[in-house]
Every structure is written in structure tokens, then in C-alpha cells.
Amino acid sequence: MAKISFWIRIIAASVAAVVVSASLSGCSAIKLGYNQLPEISSWWLDNYINFTDTQATQAKQALKKLHVWHRKEELPLVADLLVQAQIMAPQNITTQQACEVWGKLEKRIEAVALESSRLATPIVLQLTPRQLR
């Protein structure tokens, strides 16, 4: 069970890192990375877990769904959060302001983790003990 939680956290952290990077920079390489995240994540997960062909197909579909969901639901919220942080940045930021921004970012990460869990559950339930080692 710890490996499953680790897997979901890795996906959420990866998505969050790429989103923050993409939002902070207009760099086309970052945008390309974000756009390729489902494929990159699929390769990484398959290497880590060694999916069967069926599981690999299901994982790719789930990662594509997660990416579409993230772009539609979460990316605008993260962009708003980054605009708020950008406005605060030139000023002296209080501890309370920093904690508020961090709390909002944690909610975004939790949302990705929750959606990842929902989409990953059918695949995770098919994993064999050998795949979970």
C-alpha cells in the first residue's frame, strides 16, 4: 500500500513541478514538457512497475485523462495563484501571506493527488505482488 501512495505522490509532485515551471516561464521547452507529461509519465511508470500490455494501455489512457482534467480544471487555478504570488513578490511578504500561498498550492497538489488516485485505482487493483515490490 505504501508503494501505491508513493506512486500517486510522485505523479502529483511531477505535475505540480511542471505546472509551476510552465507558469513561471514562457519557455517552449517547459511547455513541451508539460504537453508530453502523459507520455513521459507512462514511460517512467512502466519502467518502475513493469505493466502488462493491458495495464500499460490503461495507464496511458488514465494519464491522458489526468492531463486533460489538469489543463481544464487545475491549470487556471495554479495560474491565478502564481499571479497572486507575483503581485506579492516585490513587497515584503509576511509569514501569514507565505503560508496562505503555500496552503493554496497544497490544495492544488491534493486535487491532483485525488484525481490521480481516482484514475489509477482500477489499474492499481490489477497489479500483482511482483509488480508491487
pLDDT tens-digit series, residues 22-78: 555 556 777 788 899 999 999 999 999 999 999 999 999 999 999 999 999 999 999
Q: What is the residue whose three cell numbers read 487556471?
A: 76
Structural domain span for residue 21: 2-124
Residue 15, pLDDT score: 60
Classify residue 106: in a domain, yes or no: yes
Q: What is the pTM of this model?
A: 0.77
18, pLDDT greater than 80: no
Collapsing DSSP to helix, strand or coil, 60 comes out as helix
Classify residue 41: in a domain, yes or no: yes
Whether the CB-CB separation of 106 and 129 falls below 8 Å is answered with: no
82, pLDDT greater than 60: yes
How many structural domains are present in the chain?
1
Classify residue 131: in a domain, yes or no: no
Residue 27, pLDDT score: 66
Residue 69, pLDDT score: 97
3 pLDDT band, cuts 50/70/90, is: low
Classify residue 130: in a domain, yes or no: no
Classify residue 98: in a domain, yes or no: yes
Question: In terms of C-beta density within 10 A (0-12 exposed, 13-18 middle, 19 or more buried), how is residue 115 classed?
Answer: buried
Classify residue 129: in a domain, yes or no: no
